Structure 1
C-alpha cells in the first residue's frame, strides 16, 4: 500500500511520538523517584539560583547543590525528549492534515498549520534547556560564600 510522502511522514511521526513519549515517562519517573532538594520546594528558587550562577554571584552550599542538580537535569539527554515529544505532536498534526488533504484533493488552510504552535513552543523549551545546561562551565568554579574562593 502506497500512502505517499505525507502518509509516510504521518506514520513516522506517530512512531517517533511513541518513542519520545516513552523517554519522557522514563525521565519523569527518574525525577519522581529521587529525593528532591529542599530549595526545590520554594517558589521561584530555581530562577533566583540560576540568575546568581549567570551573574557569577556568591552561592551558599545549598544554592550550589541545587544549581548543580538543575544543570545536571538539563544536561540529561532524556530531558530533550520533552520538547521532542511536543514537536512531534505538532508535526504529526501538520503532516496528518496534509495527508488528508492530499487524499481529498483540498487546499491547505490555516487550520492545517495550527500544529506549528507546539512545534515553535518545543523549540523554545529546547533552547531554555540548552541555556541551563550551558551553565555547567560557570558551576565548575563555584563562588561559595565564606569559603575564600
Structure 2
C-alpha cells in the first residue's frame, strides 16, 4: 500500500511521538522518585538560583545543591524527550492534515498549520534546557558560603 510522502511522514511522526512520549514518562518517573532539594519547594527559587549562578555570585550549600540538581536535570538526554514529544505531536498534526488534503483534495488552510505552534514552543523549551545545561562550567567555580538559603532573594522568599 503506497501512502505517499505525507502518509509515510504521518506514520513516522506518530511512531516518534509515542517513542518520545515513553521517554517523557520514564524521565518524569525518575524525577518523582528522588527526594527533591529543599529549595525546590520555594516559589521563585529556580529563577533566583540560576540568576546567582549566571552572575557567579556566592551561594549557600542549599542553593548550590539546588543549582546542581537543576543543571543535572537539564543535562539528562531524557529531558529532551519533552520538547521532542511536543514537536512530533505538532508535526504529526501538520503532515496528517497534508495527507488528508492529498488524498481527498482541497487546499491547505490556516488550520493545517496550527501544529506549528507546539513545534515552535518545543524549540523554545529545548533552548531553555540547553541554556541551563550550559551552566555546568560555572557550577564548578561557584563559591559556597555559610549563609542560609533564607537570604536567597526577594523573589524567592514567598
TM-score by length of 1: 0.97
| Distance across 2 between alignment mates of 1:106 and 1:71 | 48
- Counterpart in 2 of 1:5? 5
* Cα-to-partner distance string for 1:93-132 (whole Å, 9 max, x where unaligned): 0000000000011111110000000000000000000000
Q: Which runs of 4+ in 1 moved over 2 A?
A: none
1:2 deviation in Å?
0.2
Question: Following superposition of structure 1 onto structure 2, how do residues 34-53 of structure 1 map, counting pairs within 5 Å?
Answer: 34-53=34-53
Gaps of 5+ in 1: none
- CA distance in 2 between counterparts of 1:65 and 1:33 reads 17
**How far apart, CA to CA, are the structure 2 residues paired with 1:121 and 1:38?**
30
Structure 2 regions of 5+ residues with no counterpart? 148-158
Does residue 138 (structure 1) correspond to residue 151 (structure 2)? The answer is no
- How far has the Cα of 1:145 moved from its partner? 1.9
User: Which residue is 1:116 aligned to?
Assistant: 116
Do the aligned residues in 1 keep the contact of 2:57 with 2:142 (CA within 8 Å)? Answer: no
Aligned to 1:90: 90
1:16-57 deviations in Å (ceiling 9; x for gaps): 011000000000000000001110000010100000000001
- Residue-pair matches, total: 147
Scaled by the length of structure 2, the TM-score of the pair is 0.91
